[in-house]
Structure 1
């Protein structure tokens, strides 16, 4: 009859072992997401802004908006 009994599961230190595993995994996923955001989104956005403002003429844009009648205080 003893041969059919199940072995007791190891309970001592189980929470610490599982937390260690999950914390390491969470840190790796967070660093991966931060790296993806930095190079996939932030750097591309900064480059797009730099490209836009390299050839942007604010006075020309203002004159176009003024002629279109967007501003009420200027004629």
Structure 2
């Protein structure tokens, strides 16, 4: 009784035909998951922040706090 010889010829091609579509499918699922769980909420958070952001008010607050060296606070 002898063992059957392993099929070595074409082994890589046979395994790639099985594993490559799975790898592409998982990559697409991961990319879609990242897009909808990370990037979309982040875009909405930035949009909400900049809807309410007043740059002149922020600049005035930083100027009054003395953050800038070249801008003097106004004497109110």
Question: Would you say same fold, with TM above 0.5?
Answer: yes
User: Which structure 1 residue ranges, 5 or more long, are not aligned?
Assistant: none
Give distance in 2, aligned partners of 1:22 and 1:66.
60
Which portions of structure 1, spanning 4 or more consecutive aligned residues, are displaced by more than 4 angstroms?
Answer: none
Worse overlay, 49-58 or 20-29: 20-29
* Mapping for residues 1-75 of structure 1, pairs under 5 Å: 4-75=1-72
TM-score (structure 2 length as normaliser): 0.84
Q: CA deviation at 1:40?
A: 1.0
Computed over aligned residues only, the root mean square deviation of the Cα atoms, in angstroms, reads 1.2
Give distance in 2, aligned partners of 1:74 and 1:9.
79
TM-score (structure 1 length as normaliser): 0.85
How many residue pairs align between the two structures?
72
